[in-house]
């Protein structure tokens, strides 16, 4: 990452705390609208790994918000102590996320309304790409943990790039409406860079690389990649 650093801005804590709460709430609301009824009624039967996935990801959302609020309130020492456990938990999310994606692929799921693929292999790639990008950006955030400006941007982009898409696509008013889903995802993805432009007149390099990486998960790109022989071979191994 280029060596030039951003100076802290008086509005930074408020912006990143607001984005953390809004992002986590949106993701939670989206999944609650589809997973919640199944949990309450017990129909259709949900595989155990999906319940584990829901629990692990919910805990992560709470940890992410808590970590951001700790920084906002000046409790950075506690934030740093919790950090290693948070990164380890992100590793658990990678394992559980991949397991859930494979389970959905083996069940033949092709997507959700407004975000459907021709076959299960395409939806599998979307889910795999999302959790991998989340994991890569969290790992980058940990690597740059001593650079506060890079760290907070990488962690926010990990959430937005890896988890917001699956969340907003399940919101009742967005589900089935591809343009609405796309607009919401882009709004979240570019909120950080827009804030940088407003407050610094330039965008931090962490956003540039993070957003470019996140854009590889947009459905047209994923659908094109899912049709390649390379992915077909990998998907066959994962789904057998």
What is the C-alpha to C-alpha distance for residues 110 and 181, in angstroms, rounded to an integer?
A: 17
* First-last CA distance in the chain: 40
Cβ–Cβ < 8 Å for 148, 8: yes
Q: What is the mean pLDDT of the chain?
A: 93
pTM equals 0.92
> Is the bond preceding 32 in cis, omega lying within 30 degrees of 0?
no
Is the pLDDT score of 146 beyond 50? yes
CB atoms within 10 A of CB 182: 18
Please tell me the distance from the alpha carbon of residue 34 to that of residue 81, in angstroms, as a whole number: 35
Residue 151 to residue 142: CA distance in whole angstroms? 7
Residue 158 has pLDDT above 60, yes or no: yes
Q: Provide the percentage of residues in the chain whose pLDDT is more than 70.
A: 98
Examine the pLDDT at 5 and tell me if it is beyond 80: no
User: pLDDT (tens digit, 9 = 90+) per residue, 107-138?
Assistant: 999 998 888 999 999 999 999 999 999 999 99
| Tens digits of residue pLDDT in 35-44 | 988 888 888 8
CB 60 within 8 Å of CB 54:
no
Domain range annotation of the chain: 12-239
The answer, yes or no, to whether residue 1 has pLDDT greater than 50, is: no
Confidence of residue 3 (pLDDT cuts 50, 70, 90): very low
Give 170's DSSP letter: T
Dihedrals phi, psi of 116, to nearest 5 degrees: -110, 145
pLDDT-based confidence at residue 4 (cuts at 50, 70, 90) = low
- Where is 32: in which H helix or E strand? helix 12-41
To 10 degrees, the CA torsion angle through 147, 218, 159, 208? Answer: 20
- What was the pLDDT predicted at 77? 96
pLDDT digit string, tens, across residues 28-75? 999 999 998 888 888 888 999 999 999 999 999 999 999 999 999 999
């Amino acid at each position: 990452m280029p060596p030039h650093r951003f100076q802290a801005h008086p509005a930074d804590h408020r912006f990143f705390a607001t984005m953390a709460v809004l992002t986590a709430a949106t993701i939670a609301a989206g999944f609650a609208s589809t997973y919640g009824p199944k949990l309450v009624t017990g129909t259709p039967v949900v595989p155990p790994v999906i319940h584990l996935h829901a629990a692990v990801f919910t805990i992560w959302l709470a940890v992410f918000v808590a970590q951001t609020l700790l920084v906002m309130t000046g409790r950075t020492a506690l934030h740093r102590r919790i950090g290693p456990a948070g990164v380890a938990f992100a590793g658990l999310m990678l394992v559980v996320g991949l397991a859930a994606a494979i389970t959905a692929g083996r069940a033949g799921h092709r997507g959700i309304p407004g975000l459907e693929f021709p076959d299960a292999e395409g939806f599998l790639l979307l889910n795999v790409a999302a959790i991998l990008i989340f994991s890569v950006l969290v790992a980058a955030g940990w690597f740059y943990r001593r650079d506060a400006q890079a760290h907070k941007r990488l962690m926010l982009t990990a959430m937005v790039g890896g988890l917001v898409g699956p969340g907003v696509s399940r919101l009742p008013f967005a589900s089935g409406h591809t343009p609405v889903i796309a607009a919401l995802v882009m709004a979240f993805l570019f909120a950080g860079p827009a804030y940088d432009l407003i407050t610094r007149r330039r965008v931090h390099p962490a956003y540039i690389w993070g957003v470019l990486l996140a854009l590889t998960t947009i459905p047209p790109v994923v659908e094109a990649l899912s049709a390649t022989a390379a992915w077909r071979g990998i998907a066959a191994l994962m789904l057998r």
